[in-house]
A and B are shown apart, each in its own frame.
Chain A
Amino acid sequence: MRRSDLLTLTLLALLAVLPPVFFCTGHPFYLDLATRLVILAIAATSLNLVLGYGGMVSFGHAAYIGIGAYAVGIPVYHDLWGGAAWLASTSGWVHLALAMGLSALFALGTGAISLRTRGVHFIMITMAFAQMVYYLFVSLGTYGGDDGLVIEHRSRLPGISLDNPLQLYGLCLAVLVATIVIVRTIMRSRFGQVIKGARGNEERMATLGYNTYAYRLTAFVIAGAIAGLSGFLMGNFTAFISPEMMAWTRSGELMFMVILGGTATTPGPLLGTLIFIVTEELLSHYTRHWQLPFGLMLIGVVLFMRGGLTGAFRRRE
C-alpha cells in the first residue's frame, strides 16, 4: 500500500474511533470539535481538487459552505414562519439538492468567467465573487442579514436523526470518506490526467487537442458541489448560519489547511485540517489572540516548509 493511502486510512480510523469514545465517556466537546474538523476536511478535500491538482488558486471556497448552509436555513425558515411556500421544506433531500445544485450553478457561472483568466486575475476574481455572495446575504434582512439565521429544525432524512450528535458525526465521516474516495478516483482517471496536465503545462495540453477550459470548469463545478455539500452538513451541525462563515478570510483558512497538509496529495487536506483545528483549539486555551501565533505559523510555513507536511514526509522517504 502507498504511504499516503496508509496515512489517510490511519487518520480516518482515528476519527472513526476516538471522538465517539470521548463522547460516550462524557466528553461531548471532543465530538463537536471532530464534527467541525470533518466537515471542514470535506471542504478542504474538494478545494484540493482545484487548488492542488488543478493549480487553480480559488480564493472563494467558503462561499460554497455558506450557500450550502443557507440552503438548509432558508427553506426551514419558510417552513416555520410562512412566506415563499414553494421554497419551504424540512426535507433533507430538498436541502441537499439545493445545497449542491446551487453551489454547482454558482461554480459554473463564476468559473465560466474566472477560468478565462490566469494567475493573479483568477485569485482576485474568485475572491470578489465570493465576497458578492457574502454581501448578498448581509443585505437579506429577512434571513437575519449580518446577524445570521438560527436554523430551528435540522434537515429530516430517513433513518437518521441529525439532532443526534453521534449520528450527525457518522454522516459527516461517511461523506468525508466518500469525498476522499471520489477525489482520489477522479485524479487517477483520464479526466484527472488532463487536469494535472493542464496544471503542469497548459499550452502543451491545448496543442495536444484538449480543451483545457472545459475540463477545468468541470473540475471547478465538481469541487463547488462537494463544498456545497459540506455547507449542508455545517448548517445542520451549527444550526446557525451567518455571512461571517463566508468571509474571504475563511476561504484563506481553507486554503491554508490544504497547503499545510500538502497540496495534490490524498491525505493532505485531512491532515492539514486536523492540524489547523487542533492548533486553533490549543492556542485558544492560552490566548484570545490565537490568530497571532497562527499568522506567524502561516508565514513560517510559506517561508520555510514548502510542500506542506506531506511534502516534508516525502522528502524524508
Chain B
Amino acid sequence: MSLLTVRNLGKSFGGVAATDGLSLSVDRGEIHAIIGPNGAGKTTLIAQLSGTMLPDIGTVRFNGRDITRLSAHARARLGLTRSFQITSLVPGMTALENVALAAQVQEGHSFRFLRPVARIESLRTAALDQLYAVGLGTRAEQPVTALSHGEHRLVEMAVVLATGALLLLLDEPFAGLGSAESARMVAFLKTLKGTRTILLIEHDMNAVFALADRISVLVRGRIIATGGPDAIRASPAVRAAYLGGD
C-alpha cells in the first residue's frame, strides 16, 4: 500500500516547466530512489514534496491525507521530513543538540520555557541513540563546526531519523562522500530497510542500485519509468533518455 502518492504534479517558472505532470507512488517500507540527469527537476520536486514550495497543479497525498497545500512544518508533523543535500545543521550547536532539537518535535509543542534542555534525559537519550546508530556516539558533544563533511552527512541522517518520521526524503545523502564514507552510508541505510520508508534522490548509481527496491527515472520534470533495479537497468527508454544520453 502506498504511503505517498503524487498525481500530475506541475510547477513552472516564467513559462518554463520544472515539474510537468509528475506522478509517483512510494510504498510503505520500501526504499524508492529517484534518479535523473542534472536539471531534471529533482530539487523542485523535493521542495514540493517537503512543502517549502507549492505546486501549481496536481495533488500530493501522504498517509491517506491530501497534503498538497500544507506548510512544511505541518507536513513534518504528519511524519514527512527531508534531509538536505548541503548539510543543514544549526551551526552554533553540538551534534547532540542538533539531534535533540529533532527529537524535541516528538514531544509535542515546544512552548516550554523553564527546564533547561541539557537536563531533559529523554531528549538526551533519544539523541544519543540516534548518534550511536549512525556511529557517531563518541562525537556527540562536538560542535558541528568541528566535524568532517562525512560526519555532517551522518549527523544529518541522525537528525532526520530522530524526528520519528514515517517517510524520509533524502536529498543526495552521498554527495561529496569518499568511497569509504559511501560504503558506511550504504551500510547504515540498509539497516533502515523495512522499518522506515525512504525516498532517495541520488546521483550515485552504485549506491542507488545497492539500496533501492524500486527506482523512478525523472527526466524533464516527469517520471518516464519506474521499476526494480534490473528492469531500470535494462529499459531502453531509460538508456536513451539518461544512462546513455548526454
User: Which of A's residues lie within 8 Å of B, judged by CB?
Assistant: 185-186, 188-194, 196-197, 200-201, 203-212, 215, 218, 264
- Using Cβ atoms and an 8 Å threshold, which residues of chain B touch A196? 90, 92-93
Q: What is the bound-complex CA distance between A64 and B233, given in angstroms? A: 66
Per the 8 Å Cβ criterion, residues 219-236 of B in contact with A are none
Q: How far is the CB of B13 from chain A (nearest CB, A)?
A: 19
Give Cα A192–Cα B101 distance, bound, in whole angstroms: 10
The answer to whether A207 touches B76 (Cβ under 8 A) is yes
Does the CB pair B112–A189 fall under 8 Å? yes
Query: Is B178 interfacial (CB 8 A cutoff)?
Result: no
Number of interchain pairs (Cβ within 8 Å): 101
User: How many angstroms from the CA of A218 to the CA of B111 in the assembled complex?
Assistant: 9
Contacts of B84 in A (CB 8 A): 203-204
Known contacts A201-B89, A206-B52, A209-B105: A193-B110 contact under CB 8 Å: yes
Contact of A201 among B88, B115, B117 (CB under 8 A): B88
Q: Is the CB of B73 within 8 A of A211?
A: yes
Question: Across the two chains, which residue of chain B brings its CB closest to A201?
Answer: B90
| Cα-based distance from A196 to B93 in the complex (angstroms) | 9
Given contacts A204-B90, A208-B163, contact A188 B72 (CB under 8 A): no
The A interface, classified by DSSP as helix, strand, loop or mixed, is helix
Complex: how many Å from CA A23 to CA B82? 61
State the CA gap A207–B116 with chains docked (Å).
Answer: 24
Give the complex CA separation of A310 and B195 in angstroms. Answer: 47
Q: Pick from B52, B74, B97, B105: contact of A203, CB below 8 A.
A: B52
Can you add 7 more A-B contacts, CB < 8 Å, to A193-B117, A197-B90, A207-B50? A190-B120, A200-B91, A201-B90, A203-B84, A204-B89, A208-B163, A209-B76
Contact residues in B for A212 (Cβ distance below 8 Å): 73
B116 contacts across to A, CB distance below 8 A: 185, 188-189
CA distance A140 to B112 in the complex (A): 41
Report the Cα distance A191→B52, complex, angstroms.
23
Q: Most A CB atoms within 10 A — which of B89, B91, B92, B100?
A: B92
Q: Answer yes or no: B218 CB below 8 A from chain A CBs.
A: no
Complex contacts, A208 vs chain B, CB 8 Å = 73, 76, 81, 101-102, 105, 159, 163
B: interface residue count bin: 35 or more
B236 to chain A, nearest CB (A): 37
Query: Which A residues lie within 8 Å of B69 (CB)?
Result: none
Indicate if the CB atoms of B52 and A194 lie closer than 8 Å: no
Q: B182 interface residue, CB < 8 Å from A?
A: no
Question: Contact between A193 and B97 (Cβ–Cβ < 8 Å)?
Answer: yes
Q: Which residues of B contact A186 (CB under 8 A)?
A: 113
B82 (CB) vs chain A CBs: closest residue: A207
B163 with A191: CB separation less than 8 A: no
Q: Judge whether A204 and B88 touch: CB under 8 Å.
A: yes
> Is there an interface contact between A203 and B112, defined as CB atoms closer than 8 Å?
no
Residue of B nearest to A189 (CB): B113
Q: Establish whether residues B52 and A200, one from each chain, have CB atoms under 8 Å apart when the complex forms.
A: no
Distance between Cα atoms of A251 and B82 in the complex (Å): 39
Q: Is B118 an interface residue (CB 8 A)?
A: yes
State in angstroms the CA–CA spacing of A211 and B230 once bound together.
Answer: 42
State the Cβ distance, B105 to closest chain A Cβ, in Å: 4
Closest to B165 in A: A209
Measured in the bound complex, the distance between the Cα atoms of B72 and A201 in whole Å is 14
Known contacts: A208-B101, A209-B105, A210-B73. The answer to whether A191 contacts B111 by CB under 8 A is yes
Evaluate whether A194 and B76 lie within 8 angstroms (CB atoms) in the complex, with A189-B117, A203-B88 already known: no
Let me know if A189 and B115 touch, CB within 8 A.
yes
Question: Min CB distance, B210 to chain A, in Å?
Answer: 26
B71 within 8 A of A: yes
| Set of chain A residues within 8 Å of B81, measured between Cβ atoms | 207-209
Q: Bound complex: CA of A10 vs CA of B110, how far in Å? A: 33
Q: How far is the CA of A192 from the CA of B100 in the complex (A)?
A: 13
Whether A206 lies near B113 (C-beta < 8 A) is no
Report yes or no: B110 in contact with A210, Cβ–Cβ below 8 A: yes
In B92-107, which residues have CB < 8 Å from any A CB?
92-93, 97, 100-102, 104-105, 107
Residues 37-70 of B contacting A (Cβ, < 8 Å): 50-52
Tell me, rounded to whole Å, the shortest Cβ–Cβ distance linking A205 to chain B: 8
A-B contact pairs, 24 of them (CB 8 A): A186-B113, A188-B117, A188-B118, A189-B116, A190-B113, A190-B115, A190-B120, A191-B110, A193-B100, A193-B117, A200-B90, A203-B52, A203-B72, A204-B88, A204-B89, A204-B90, A205-B73, A206-B51, A206-B76, A207-B52, A208-B73, A210-B73, A211-B74, A212-B73
Q: Which chain A positions have C-beta within 8 A of B115?
A: 189-190
Residue of A nearest to B79 (CB): A209
B114 at the interface (CB under 8 A from A): yes
Q: Which one of B77, B88, B101 lies within 8 Å of A194 (CB-CB)?
A: B101
Is B113's CB under 8 angstroms from A191's CB? yes
B202 to chain A, nearest CB (A): 18
* Contact between A206 and B72, CB atoms less than 8 A apart: yes
